[in-house]
Amino acid sequence: MPKVFNWQIGREMDYPYDGARPDHQFAYIFDLNKCIACQTCTIACKTTWTAGKGQETMLWNNVESKPYGYFPLGWDVRILDMLGAQSWDGLKYTGKTLFEAAEAGEAVLGYLPDDLDYANPNVGEDDCFGSELKGAVNGVADGSGGAYFDTVHHSWMFYLPRICNHCTYPACLASCSRKSIYKRKMDGIVLIDQSRCRGYRDCVKGCPYKRPFYNPHTRTSEKCIACYPFVEQGQQPQCVTMCIGKIRLAGYLSLPEKANKNHPMDYLIHDQQVALPLYPQFGLEPNVYYIPPVHVPPQFLTQMFGPRVHKAVETYRNAHKDPKLLAAMMLFGSTERILKEFRVEKNEVVGIDMMNGGEAVRVPFTEPTVVRPFRDEKVGAFRHNIS
């Protein structure tokens, strides 16, 4: 089997095809400290792409509450369990990737979810978070457990928005015996050819993130297309621009050794290393990078985001001291355009449009505050708060 280099795990690994990186890799950053699970992203995606027959329970974008929320049910704990122990030696992953752990006769270690695993997205997953009075002192909850669970950890949780990671080494692509899945040379976006797919669902089985979905009406599998018609016009995808929490930024990402410190994606991912891949140990080199939730126990974060997570949490906690870091993070949700560079100008950050090189956006560090007098002299009336 050919060897390819995966920088996220710091080593070469087995992959069924020779390594061929795209000319540019489209990537995302999601700041998990800011997501409020409003599901606007989910609905933005659904109305844009998956409102048709056969797509009823298909969520190319979903937001789940960790640690007990999953869509489809148990997606990550199941594959983590199948993979077994995952060890790191510093920044090098010494365990097996999903390609290396594949059984004989399979391209990748995986499983096909059961039908009911897709049946109840989000149902009940928040019920166990610390609202109970168990262990309460004088009627005040101590936050030590969940409403239904007796043996759980201290009360913490976070929302995890998920889309296809447009992986550098996609397991969906590696699993498709018909070669119906391709990774575009121009931007690294991974697509299922809808004229060629025969609905075998080996991609559904092979993708550890469970991002391809079977459509029982067309009998083909479908997945997130990174809103490529937008991207081709220099615009960020729907789930990014619609995000209420402004937690998302999307653009092109360089390889670590070619990082441009003035490019917001490169700067946050490679230079500051504040945004990290989800389950890098799977070996797919996923291209959605998460700013980890800083209040979550480090063991859990390490399993989910790898050994760089502690430094990332520290960097994020200190972001208020670093104007450039703050500036880059203020670009999230500030423009529909894909940016190629940013710079700080006095107390503003300026984002440069990737396509035309012009100024796409200018965001002040602090929004100006205006205090209006209680009485409006112009109309001769008091300003009551009657809204």
Query: Applying CB under 8 A, does 74 fall inside the site for other proteins?
Result: no
| Closer to other proteins by Cβ: residue 58 or 253 | 58
3-state secondary structure of 143: coil
Among 58, 83, 101, 167, interactor with ligand SF4 by CB under 6 A: 167
Query: Applying CB under 8 A, does 97 fall inside the site for other proteins?
Result: no
| Closer to ligand SF4 by Cβ: residue 240 or 327 | 240
- Contact indicator for 178, 197 with CB cutoff of 8 Å: yes
Query: Applying CB under 6 A, does 212 fall inside the site for ligand SF4?
Result: yes
In the structure encoding, which two tokens stand for residue 170, read together?
A: 């996609």
* From 71-79, 116-124, 208-216, 289-297, span contacting ligand SF4 (CB under 6 A): 208-216
Question: Both ends of the chain: CA-CA distance in Å?
Answer: 66
Query: Applying CB under 8 A, does 20 fall inside the site for other proteins?
Result: no
* From 7-15, 163-171, 252-260, 313-321, span contacting ligand SF4 (CB under 6 A): 163-171
Query: Applying CB under 6 A, does 60 fall inside the site for ligand SF4?
Result: no
In the structure encoding, which two tokens stand for residue 202, read together?
A: 């080996």
| Closer to other proteins by Cβ: residue 72 or 351 | 72
3-state secondary structure of 239: helix
Query: Applying CB under 8 A, does 136 fall inside the site for other proteins?
Result: no
The b/e string for 203-218 (b: 16+ C-beta within 10 A; e otherwise) is bbbbbbbbbbbbbeee
Distance between CA atoms of 189 and 311, rounded to whole angstroms?
A: 29
3-state secondary structure of 298: helix
Give phi and psi for 281, each to the nearest 5.
-65, -15
Among 16, 95, 130, 143, interactor with other proteins by CB under 8 A: 16
Query: Applying CB under 8 A, does 96 fall inside the site for other proteins?
Result: no
The H or E element containing residue 310 is helix 309-317
Among 13, 41, 44, 107, interactor with other proteins by CB under 8 A: 107
Q: How far is CA 352 from CA 23, 217, 281, 339, in A?
A: 21, 43, 34, 5
- Contact indicator for 312, 33 with CB cutoff of 8 Å: no
Among 94, 120, 194, 233, interactor with other proteins by CB under 8 A: 194
DSSP letter for each residue of 255-290: -GGG--TTSHHHIIIIIS--SEESSGGGSS--SEEE
Query: Applying CB under 8 A, does 51 fall inside the site for other proteins?
Result: yes
The H or E element containing residue 61 is none
Query: Applying CB under 6 A, does 170 fall inside the site for ligand SF4?
Result: yes
The torsion region of residue 37 among left (phi > 0), alpha (psi -120 to 50) and beta comes to left
Beta-carbon count within 10 A of 230 CB: 19
* From 124-132, 193-201, 263-271, 327-335, span contacting other proteins (CB under 8 A): 193-201
Site string for other proteins, 116-135 (x = CB under 8 A): --x-----------------
Query: Applying CB under 8 A, does 228 fall inside the site for other proteins?
Result: no
Report how many residues bind ligand SF4 under the rule CB under 6 A: 28
Greatest extent of the chain over all pairs of C-alpha atoms, in Å? 83
| Closer to other proteins by Cβ: residue 109 or 328 | 109
Q: Which does 165 bind (CB under 5 to 8 A by kind): other proteins, ligand SF4, none?
A: ligand SF4
Site string for ligand SF4, 222-261 (x = CB under 6 A): -x-------------------xxx-x--------------
* From 34-42, 52-60, 125-133, 368-376, span contacting ligand SF4 (CB under 6 A): 34-42
Distance between CA atoms of 248 and 297, rounded to whole angstroms?
A: 23
Residues found near other proteins in the complex (CB under 8 A) = 1-2, 16-18, 49-56, 104-107, 112-115, 118, 175, 177-179, 194-202, 204, 213-220, 222
Residues found near ligand SF4 in the complex (CB under 6 A) = 35-41, 63, 159, 161, 164-167, 170-172, 190, 207, 209, 211-212, 223, 243-245, 247, 284
